[in-house]
Amino acid sequence: MNNFLANEQEEIIEEFVQETQDMIEQLEPTIIELGQSCRPVNCWKITECGNLPCPRYEKQYDFPCWLHCGYIESVNMSCPATSSKQGCIECDVFQLTNGNNATINAIFRLFHSMKGSAGFLDMKNISSVAHSAENLLDLIRSGSIKMDSSHVDILCDACDFSKAALEYLVDNMDDVGMLDSAADVSEKLKVAIVDAKRRLSDSREIALAGGEAKPDSPQDVSATSLEEPDNVTEEEPFTITTEMVEQFVAETEELLLSFEQGLLKWLNDLDNTDVVAELFRNIHSFKGDCGFFGFECIEKLTHDMETTLDAVKADVNIDKHKTAKVLLEFCDVLKSAVSNVADGGDGDINNLHLYLDVLESLLPKGWLDGQGNNEEKVPVRLGDILVEQGVVAPEDIEAALEEQRKPIGQILIDKGVVTEPQISKALRKQDDIRPKPEMKPKSVAPKSVKKVAKQQDIRVSLNKLDSLINLIGELVIAENVVVNNPDLTGLELENFNKASQQMDKIIRDLQEVSMVIRMVPVAGLFRRMIRLVHDLSSKAGKKVDFKLIGEETEVDKTVIEIITDPLVHLIRNSLDHGLEQPDERIATGKTATGHVTLTASHEEGEVWIIIEDDGRGLNREKIIEKAITKGLINGDGVGMSDKEIFALVFHAGFSTAEKITDVSGRGVGMDVVNQNLQKINGRIEIQSKAGHGTKVTLRIPLTLAII
């Protein structure tokens, strides 16, 4: 591989890694939220069913109602709450048991996109794990198995594998070394499927026999008994947020610009295979994005454009110049479709079949058959039908195609080759024999949003932003030097003073704008904590209700990087030291589920990040006892305030934990938290009441200008 191709491959992989990491950041919290939303329910309670003869009425079964009396793989379709498979899936009982449709479909789509991108780059191990995760999710969302907490852990394992594989990919430019890890995770996912089906079979027998539900006990599943899950079923619609559409519009406009520039470059050098390869990748990425969002018209057109470029890559007999010109014209069609999406539409393309016909006419005869289409070819293009009917000669069609800017039928009428009735007759036949597109449920856009404003985004290196901010800082200093120059003392300079005041205002505005550029929401950082809380609570056997407030609050990007580790440590402390075990909480009059809240807000010109729990709180006496032992205070500490006492925990090596765990207890964390906050001129405050909980507040400067 020459240096050019090597550099190109490296750029593609870097882009794939960044996109996949972004996917995983969305995946982990969404998976955990899905698991938290699922719980066992009784269908007759949720639906307020009055069907007394129902075999489930006032009984509890592990076997789900949609498989028992519903319309999903059921032989006893007697549920009065619904009348179809889709009705079962949309039923509250299904969504409380197996998870919200929109959420599970979003997770499925993310794994599907990861699989597709990895497969395109021949990263077989990443692709295989994503495929196995897809299979599990598809069975859950179709109702073939029940969702349980173990599925959340296994899907999180798939995310962990993907993160490790991406790190390996960056260092080695392939994922070959992740083969064993991929096999382990894929096997876990397959075992989960087999185990879920086995438990479903056991509970089915109990339900059909009319017996009471029995506690389920896990059984070992032999790897030799594993079978591939059933074929996936048609996907259900999922909700697309406004932010997702905005990102789609921004990314596809960027891809189209690159594609257009590539076509112009190709027109000047038709034998340049590197340009063709780049064009193919761009249109492939574009098609994938459209497929993810369910914009079918755009996806169909880009698919055929991709097929045409694939033929060019294969060096078949094709008119490259004509192909490049057609694709360049179709860029405008795609731009219009993307604009339609930005305006709140579905990306519809008028007369799509005409564009598809033009692309097919570019390909050599038999090319599509060679690509795997072995069905008997039926002429569905208008031109073919007219030739078949003997109305026009093939040469007339070719001449019309050369100048195609409007429907071919109109061109032929203008040329006087055919009459309008003949065209109408041919069009009716075309409608009859053209394969009808399979109707897929369209993605559900937010009802409250009728139009999506176009975002004009560009990617800028953080180093460039830092240079800009530094130069603005220098400008502020230079302005002060000029305005306060001693040579101006005693001079009457009215115009100069007015101009300097205006300049000062502009510079201050410029400084403020430069600070805002670096501001990012804390949502990304906060949502990473969802996985941390899930893992720690599972390991400790504690029940935790974790809430995020103020995710839209913005801070400087550097601040995010500096407070990440302190935030992780404080949350670990809340779960390990703060929250009690469920039985201990119940004994003290609390609920079995502990509560941890992570909040961000703007207060007093600062950003406050608050970690609050309702656990056992700090023990003042224990802290004093430990401080005396370490020689940190003189006397008995009785006269010290709570603020002074709690500040002692920031000393290195200070811990009141009775035992050291793999989570905390060594006293090496709180001092690091304090040091990191001091780096950005931040402060940390602790409020606590024994038996009621602890509140830790990080007070952080709003921007680097303050720092």
pLDDT tens digit sequence for 121-153: 788 899 899 999 989 998 898 888 888 888 999
The pTM is what? Answer: 0.58
More confident residue, 218 or 26: 26
Q: What is the pLDDT of residue 410?
A: 67
Q: Does the pLDDT value for residue 454 go beyond 90?
A: no
Mean pLDDT within 47-59: 76
Between residues 581 and 48, which one has the greater pLDDT? 581
| Residue 592 pLDDT grade (very low, low, confident, very high; cuts 50, 70, 90) | very high
Q: Report the share of the chain in percent with pLDDT over 90.
A: 16
Percentage of the chain beyond pLDDT 70 is 79
Closest by Cα among 527, 515, 534 to 552 = 527
Does residue 172 contact residue 13 with C-beta atoms inside 8 Å? Answer: no
Q: Residues 6 or more apart from 33 whose CB is under 8 A from it? A: 103, 530
CA distance 251 to 289: 9
Q: What is the pLDDT of residue 243?
A: 65
Q: What is the average per-residue pLDDT within 169-186?
A: 90
Question: Which has more pLDDT, 433 or 95?
Answer: 95
Diameter over CA atoms, the chain: 111
Mean pLDDT of 389-412: 65
Residue-level pLDDT at 237: 39
In which element (H, E) is residue 686 found?
A: strand 683-689
pLDDT at 264 over 80: yes
pLDDT value of position 584: 92
pLDDT for residue 5 is more than 50: no
3-state helix, strand, coil in the chain (%, to 5): 60, 5, 35
Backbone angles phi, psi at 443, to 5 degrees: -65, 145
For 376, other C-beta atoms within 10 Å of its C-beta total 6
Mean pLDDT of the chain: 79
Across 385-399, 423-437, 668-682, least confident range = 423-437
- Give the mean model confidence (pLDDT) for residues 594-622: 91
